[in-house]
Amino acid sequence: MSYRDLDRPPLDAVALRSALTGPRRLWTEVVVSAQTGSTNADVAAAARAGAPEGLVHVADAQTAGRGRLDRTWTSPPGSGAIVSVLLRPDSVPAARWVWLPLLAGLAVDATVQECGVASSVKWPNDVLVDGRKIAGILLERTETPVGPAAVVGVGLNVSLRRDELPVDTATSLVLEGATETDRTIVIRAFLRNLEALYRAWAASGGDPPGGIRESYVRRCVTIGQRVRVTLPHDEPWVGQATGIDDSGRLLVDGRAISAGDVTHVRPAG
């Protein structure tokens, strides 16, 4: 029996659909693919074709996965939780949609902790374990015939071994000694966590002072650090990260930094 057979069990599509979809649930359809180019691209295409809110696409492997700033990444088949979801927060002003990747980060962070691993979020779109990246999040807005939609994609390293990591600053649930590494269970937990956070955020009209911002600041390892900020076409500069404003921007020495504008935010030193 191979390493994959022992430690990378196949996704259980039936179990995911049974646990996540149903009356009054956010998730309306769960698509499970053995391989795709990009789950985000697939969900965006479905949105443009009229798919309703709540579509979930999970893949065993991606051949053209991407992150912020068109960065690409790959991982061995069956080694990660690769998930994209379609959201249509019509009741929330578009300016508040920038909170969606932060909500997803909180949902991943909660899931990693439920797996027995101490984690934190790094503004704007990463989840870390002892400074090592275990997950990344990508938000993409797409225009559709029935209005704008948001596609939120998550890649969580589950069973990658050290020699399979894309960079030496990454890690995985297996490497951190997680108590749960079955991707079906991990994905189910993540989607339940995201549903709860999203419903609370949408019900408040996307109002972070309702508790979302405080939750994020509590979990964000960036806050309180001296950070080096790199903006496109600008010299890097160093300052103290002091908080997150109502628009999800990082406050550095009183200056508000938007996730859409920044290239890197890293600890200074």
> Where do the structural domains in the chain lie, given as residue ranges?
3-215, 222-267
| Residue 30: pLDDT over 70 | yes
Strand order across the beta sheet in which 132-142 lies: 29-33, 55-59, 80-87, 149-157, 132-142, 126-129, 120-122
The secondary element (H helix, E strand) that includes residue 105 is: helix 100-114
Length of the chain: 269
| Residue 104: pLDDT over 60 | yes
- Per-residue pLDDT tens over the stretch 39-69: 999 999 999 999 999 999 999 999 886 655 5
| Residue 155: pLDDT over 90 | yes
- Per-residue pLDDT tens over the stretch 185-233: 999 999 999 999 999 999 999 987 778 999 999 999 999 999 988 887 7
State what percent of residues in the chain have pLDDT above 70. Answer: 93
- Per-residue pLDDT tens over the stretch 131-143: 999 999 999 999 9
Q: Please, which pLDDT band fits residue 72 given cuts at 50, 70 and 90? A: low
Q: Is the peptide bond before 124 cis (omega within 30 degrees of 0)?
A: yes
Copy the structure tokens of residue 123.
Answer: 């503004």
Per the rule left: phi > 0, alpha: psi between -120 and 50, beta: everything else, 69 is left
What does the pLDDT read at residue 208? 77
For the segment(s) 222-267, the CATH number from 1.20.1740.10, 2.60.120.620, 2.30.30.100, 1.20.140.10 is: 2.30.30.100
What does the pLDDT read at residue 73? 65
- Short-list 141, 136, 161, CA closest to 151: 141
What does the pLDDT read at residue 3? 41
| Residue 261: pLDDT over 60 | yes
| Residue 119: pLDDT over 50 | yes
What does the pLDDT read at residue 260? 72
**Highest CATH level, class, for 3-215:** alpha beta
The secondary element (H helix, E strand) that includes residue 93 is: none
Average pLDDT over residues 230-241: 84
What does the pLDDT read at residue 1? 30
